[in-house]
Amino acid sequence: MKTALSLALTTLILSSVTIGAPILPALETLSVSSDGTVEQSTVILEEGVQYWILAEGTYSQGGTAENRADAEFSHEPYYEVWDWYEYRLDSSCLDLLVNGQDIDWRGSSLDDPDPIAHFGTFAPHTFSPSHMYWFPIVGDGNAVSLMIQDSVYGDNSGSLTASIYPVPEPGTLSLLSLAGMGLFSAWRRR
């Protein structure tokens, strides 16, 4: 009976931890210029280990304040909307590339999400009014590179910020569940 209850409690504790979610603090924060410069992290992403990258901010992509873009979407002044420009018009433009790849940055429809606390609200193909986006990446033993891709760089100004976050190791989760079982046993003994 006690074992069954402990197992149930362990399951409850494990399910209350979002496995694979980022944790504070960031390992490194990079500023990625809209001039097309490739930014390489100092941090080496360990092979087989999962990380999350948080991209934040907007830059001017077409010479005027209205022509803006974030990591995944860009502003269409004519329609007064933020649009998934790269998908609609041209897959080779206006994207924050990771290791040279066009990736699916995950957005949140919340106006001002706390990126860690509201991590579960971020999803692919979702515009972020806050211009915050997450991307999961598994390390390959190398640094990670970030670059803003555009077809014309001369009319750009500003930059995006990208931060690399660790996720809890499976060992950390086991310790959490063991701690939970210890608390439960202490409670049972009372």
Contact residues: Ca ion, CB under 5 A: 61, 95, 102, 150, 152, 155-156
The gap from C-alpha 129 to its chain's centroid, in whole angstroms, comes to: 15
Q: Which of 137, 156, 133, 159 is nearest to 147 (CA)?
A: 159
The gap from C-alpha 107 to its chain's centroid, in whole angstroms, comes to: 9
Nearer to Ca ion, 7 or 152 (CB): 152
Nearer to Ca ion, 114 or 155 (CB): 155
Amino acid at 98: V
Nearer to Ca ion, 13 or 55 (CB): 55
Beta carbon of residue 122, minimum distance to Ca ion (angstroms, whole number): 14
Beta carbon of residue 67, minimum distance to Ca ion (angstroms, whole number): 8
Beta carbon of residue 102, minimum distance to Ca ion (angstroms, whole number): 5
* Count of beta carbons in the 10 Å neighbourhood of residue 126: 17
Beta carbon of residue 35, minimum distance to Ca ion (angstroms, whole number): 10
Nearer to Ca ion, 102 or 140 (CB): 102
Rounded CA separation 133/86 (Å): 16
Give, rounded to a whole angstrom, the gap between the first and last alpha carbons of the chain: 17
